[in-house]
Amino acid sequence: MAIQYKRILLKVSGEALSGPKGTGFDEETIASICAGIKAAHDLGTQIAIVVGGGNFWRGRSSGKMDRMDADKIGMLATVMNALAVKDALRQQGVEAVVMTSSFMPQVAECFTSDKAIAALESGKIVVFGGGTGNPIFSTDTASALRALEISADAMFKATMVDGVYDKDPHKYADAVRYDTLTFTRVLDERLAVMDSTAATLCRDNGLPILVFDLGKPENIAKACKGEMVGTLVKE
């Protein structure tokens, strides 16, 4: 089956990397996620990844700490996660490179869109760390920004639920899952897809988002082939 998406940006939350532990790294979970990424990459899809940092730190839950400093700690957490994902991919025979939003040459390359696109076209997976490089902005917003900067065909948001619902499916048995949505409806009804800044960026630039369950890593390859595995959001 031919791939539908030639180049994607995959957003993976930090919490997903912690597996059943709930914090830090869980090596088996990361290996399983990376096996799913490898399967999609083997199809021929060019893949860039943005990782969150919630398995180590959440700036908005940092109590009395200054918000700017708290967010900087969160950005550093995403760099740790990016390095872990890169190494897990390496162990599975996939060449990957980490690019960060801030200059840290002993750790990773500094991001430019030209370097990222060149790496993707050479067959490497690119893992972005450091968010946007600015406090306040979420890793969802960083994902939308990087997806647009590398001219991705779509953004895949891999979550712990199998799509977007009208209400929390963990709390309400009668929650209804959407197959498709528009960004306007997501914003108007404040549906739990991503923050409004990220959703507006995607809407205004024609970038579709596919939200699906990362608990089934094979969904990444299925989505690349155009199979309906979650909720597709586009205008």
Q: For strands 164-165 and 177-178, give the pairing.
A: antiparallel
Structure tokens at 163: 């799509």
62 is in an annotated binding site: no
134 is in an annotated binding site: yes
184 is in an annotated binding site: no
222 is in an annotated binding site: no
- pTM as predicted: 0.94
Strand order through the sheet with 125-129: 109-110, 96-100, 125-129, 46-51, 7-12, 154-159, 209-213, 230-233, 180-181
Q: Is the pLDDT of residue 95 over 70?
A: yes
Tally Cβ neighbours within 10 Å of residue 71: 23
Predicted pLDDT at 80: 96
DSSP summary character for residue 50:
E
Residue 106 lies in a domain: yes
Q: How many domains would you assign to the chain?
A: 1
CATH of the domain at 36: 3.40.1160.10
52 is in an annotated binding site: no
72 is in an annotated binding site: no
8 is in an annotated binding site: no
Give tens-digit pLDDT for 150-169: 999 999 999 888 999 988 88
53 is in an annotated binding site: yes
Residue 1 lies in a domain: no
Give tens-digit pLDDT for 110-146: 999 999 999 999 999 999 999 999 999 999 999 999 9
Range of the domain at 122: 7-233
217 is in an annotated binding site: no
Residue 208 lies in a domain: yes
Q: For strands 154-159 and 209-213, give the pairing.
A: parallel
Residue 2 lies in a domain: no
The residue type found at 139 is: T
Distances (CA, A) of 33 to 4, 28, 128, 150, 158: 21, 9, 16, 22, 10
Residue 63 CA to residue 129 CA, distance in Å, equals 24
| Bigger pLDDT: 2 vs 8 | 8
Residue 129 lies in a domain: yes
User: Do 121 and 178 meet the contact criterion of CB atoms below 8 Å apart?
Assistant: no
14 is in an annotated binding site: yes
The residue type found at 190 is: R
13 is in an annotated binding site: yes
136 is in an annotated binding site: yes
What 3-state class would DSSP assign to 214? coil
185 is in an annotated binding site: no
